[in-house]
Amino acid sequence: ASETPEHDVIVIGGGPGGYVAAIKAAQEGLKTACIEKRGALGGTCLNVGCIPSKSLLNNSHIYHQILHDVKNLEGVKLNLTQMMKAKETSVSGLTKGIEYLFKKNGVDYIKGTGTLTGENEIKVNPLDGGEAQTYRAKNIIIATGSEATPFPGLEIDEKRVVTSTGAIALTEVPKKMIVIGGGIIGLEMGSVWSRLGAEVTVVEYLGAIGGPGMDADMAKTMQKILSKQGMKFKLNTKVLGGDVNADDIKIKIEAAKGGKEEQLDADVVLVAIGRRPYTSGLGLENVGIETDERGRIVIDQEYRTKIPHIRVIGDVTFGAMLAHKAEEEGIAAVEYISKGHGHVNYGAIPSVMYTHPEAAWVGQTEQEVKATGKPYNIGSFPFSANSRAKTNLDTEGMVKFITDKETDRILGIHIIGPNAGEMIAEGVLALEYGASSEDIGRTSHAHPTLSEAFKEAAMAAYSKPIHA
């Protein structure tokens, strides 16, 4: 293997965590490289996650809305090939955008698989199959992300038994789809195919949908809304296994507590039971870096492994598996390197589920606040009483504030409603600033906007709303 000049920082992985870290490091004046093995920048999020799924969610929503809500249109037909092309156009435009940003900031983009071979040394097997190269770096940032957790006994072929990667690339609308796992991927991808005409049944082990972290009230409301849209739910239900036959797939289920076995059939099964850290081929064992029982690379508060100049960010370590969380960590990890201090407020990372309506939340759920024993207030306001939502004929959902009863400080905000993902930004800022519900209630919100529902829910927490 030949050797190259030393870098200040080498980032392994070009996803939202890694590419942001690389750009930030270059902006800080550090000689930086980013190693990525998939042949495109942007990681899971841009290539097979956030971006393609949101393209399909947006277009399937428009199709569904035209078909069901606009009554006087005839001859509306689905063009799935076109929908997939639109998705690919968004993805390729954005990956090229990151390549451009790398060039603009002077980040060396190394295409290949990086393996740690020493505390300051990475061997790269190039994508094009050329000779392996050895790179040396003063600092290394690992950002290798995550992969879908497989379901034991159900082999993924990404055509009929799929993870989200296959689910964003189906070539026909399945007649029947079973989704194993009622978390965010299950509900987003289940929504896409349900809107396009599939009969979707979600099988969830727990008693609520939405995955870990969703407020119980919100999960119940969301389930009602999605059920009305045609999705079916089997909660408290365990999948025992499945048989993939030539004509269909049979999935055996039973009540989580045990009971009578039942069988469901489908032509496509989506496995969406969570994601796990990805470290295969990374060579952690060569340098003695540890992972925990869930495969997450162990780090301290400054993202350092036990080799202090090797730091880790994003899905491959602790915390929420979200693109914006990985990005924040990318910037903070670089600032630790360049300035000696960095900052991420883990109490104010928003979550958004891009169904229709969207669900979005930040801070604590009501069940978490209740568990602390601290007295609290709830203020909520329904979109059915909001003038803009009524004008848009889009009135499902509500805004819910949870505040400290003594101080009125906001503890959590939970929204189900049109554009909840945009609206939650105001809540995140409020939490960052340590705001009270009265701070929001006394802030002027333009009329007629959906955000008036946000203000009125805040008013409901410390006083009374006007319009409900």
Residue numbers at the binding site for ligand FAD (CB under 6 A): 12-18, 35-38, 43-45, 49-50, 53, 113-114, 143-146, 164, 185, 278, 281-282, 314-315, 321-324, 326, 354
State the minimum distance, in angstroms, from the CB of residue 223 to ligand NAI. Answer: 12
DSSP at 150: P
Give the one entry of ligand NAI, ligand FAD, none that residue 166 binds, where binding means its C-beta sits below a cut-off of 5 to 8 angstroms depending on kind.
none
Using DSSP, state whether 181 is helix, strand or coil. coil
- Cβ closest to ligand NAI, residue 56 vs residue 352: 352
| Amino acid (one-letter) located at 206 | L
Give the one entry of ligand FAD, ligand NAI, none that residue 17 binds, where binding means its C-beta sits below a cut-off of 5 to 8 angstroms depending on kind.
ligand FAD
- Cβ closest to ligand FAD, residue 72 vs residue 171: 171
| Interaction of residue 188 with ligand NAI, rule CB under 6 A | yes
State the minimum distance, in angstroms, from the CB of residue 407 to ligand FAD. Answer: 31
CA gyration radius, the chain: 24
Per CB under 6 A, the list member of 239, 360, 428, 460 interacting with ligand NAI is: 239
- Cβ closest to ligand FAD, residue 185 vs residue 344: 185
- Cβ closest to ligand NAI, residue 183 vs residue 397: 183
| Interaction of residue 454 with ligand NAI, rule CB under 6 A | no
309 is in an annotated binding site: no
Among left, alpha and beta (phi > 0; psi -120 to 50; other), residue 213 is: left
Q: What is the dihedral of CA 91, 58, 275, 24, to 10 degrees?
A: 50
- Token couple for 132: 């392996």
DSSP at 209: S
- Find tokens 């100049």 and name the residue: 309
Tell me how far apart the alpha carbons of residues 355 and 57 are, in angstroms, rounded to a whole number.
Answer: 7
- Is residue 447 among the annotated active site residues? yes
- Token couple for 162: 């799929």
Give the one entry of ligand NAI, ligand FAD, none that residue 36 binds, where binding means its C-beta sits below a cut-off of 5 to 8 angstroms depending on kind.
ligand FAD
441 is in an annotated binding site: no
Tell me how far apart the alpha carbons of residues 201 and 268 are, in angstroms, rounded to a whole number.
Answer: 11
Tell me how far apart the alpha carbons of residues 124 and 131 are, in angstroms, rounded to a whole number.
Answer: 9
| Interaction of residue 222 with ligand NAI, rule CB under 6 A | no
Quick one: which segment of 89-97, 294-302, 352-360, 449-457 binds ligand NAI (CB under 6 A)?
Answer: 352-360
| Interaction of residue 204 with ligand NAI, rule CB under 6 A | yes
Within 10 angstroms of residue 227's Cβ, the number of other Cβ atoms is 12
How big is the CA angle at 55 (ends 278 and 148), to the nearest 5 degrees? 20
| Residues in contact with ligand NAI, shown as a per-residue x/- string from 293 to 332 under the rule CB under 6 A | ---------------------------xxx----------
Alpha-carbon torsion (27, 326, 156, 271), positive or negative: negative
| Interaction of residue 186 with ligand NAI, rule CB under 6 A | yes
- Find tokens 């727990």 and name the residue: 206
By rule CB under 6 A, what count of residues binds ligand NAI?
A: 25
The residues facing 352 across adjacent strands are: 360
Any alpha helices (H) in 141-257, and if so which ranges?
Answer: 164-167, 184-195, 216-228
| Residues of span 261-280 touching ligand NAI by CB under 6 A | 272-275
Give the one entry of ligand NAI, ligand FAD, none that residue 173 binds, where binding means its C-beta sits below a cut-off of 5 to 8 angstroms depending on kind.
none
| Residues of span 146-185 touching ligand NAI by CB under 6 A | 180-185
Q: Which of 394, 327, 393 is nearest to 356 (CA)?
A: 394
Q: Which of 98, 59, 94, 392 is nearest to 193 (CA)?
A: 59
Q: Give binding residues as ranges.
A: 54, 114, 144-146, 181-188, 204, 274, 315, 321-324
Binding site for ligand NAI (CB under 6 A): 180-186, 188, 203-206, 211-212, 239, 272-275, 320-322, 352-354
Q: List active site positions.
A: 447
